[in-house]
Amino acid sequence: MSQDLRPNGIVVDLEQRLLQINWNDGQASVLDFDTLRRACPCAECRPWIHDLVRTSEVRETPASVQNATGELKSVQDLQPVGSYALHFNWADGHTFGIYDWKYLRSLESIHGTRET
Ligand SMILES: [Zn+2]
């Protein structure tokens, strides 16, 4: 994958609770908010990503995360982090996750990753 992967555009649909990212390689990812919330990459939700836990058997997302609902109150709850990531202020108060472009691209798009 290109090192220069980044979005050309991001569309937030608060009503459908969807985030569409139009990538600079011509692909698009459509991610629903629940998927995004449950994929939170912070140290609390996914300690193994951060090397806090090194054994494979604990690679389990807590049930509270698996069943979380992704709600955003406004488009302001979605903020860029420098030029490398997005940050979500989830309505449930969980705001730790920094989702970098590569991670967002790796998440399952609800229509499959497709050409724009
Ligand atoms: Zn988290």
Q: Per the domain annotation, does 49 fall within a domain?
A: yes
Q: Per the domain annotation, does 1 fall within a domain?
A: no
Global confidence as pTM: 0.85
Q: How far apart are alpha carbons 7 and 69 in whole angstroms?
A: 25
From first to last of its 116 residues, the chain has per-residue pLDDT tens of 445 899 999 999 999 999 999 999 999 999 999 999 999 999 888 877 777 666 666 677 888 888 999 999 999 999 999 999 999 999 999 999 999 999 999 998 887 666 65
CATH code assigned at 41:
3.30.2020.30
Q: How far apart are alpha carbons 97 and 104 in whole angstroms?
A: 12
User: Rounded to the nearest whole angstrom, what is the distance from the C-alpha of residue 52 to the centroid of ligand 1?
Assistant: 14
Strands (E) in 1-116, as ranges, are: 7-13, 18-23, 27-32, 78-81, 85-88, 98-100, 114-115
What is the domain extent for residue 47? Answer: 7-115
- The pLDDT of residue 46: 86
User: Rounded to the nearest whole angstrom, what is the distance from the C-alpha of residue 90 to the centroid of ligand 1?
Assistant: 10
Alpha helices in 1-116 (DSSP H): 33-38, 63-66, 101-106
Q: Per the domain annotation, does 2 fall within a domain?
A: no
User: Rounded to the nearest whole angstrom, what is the distance from the C-alpha of residue 116 to the centroid of ligand 1?
Assistant: 30
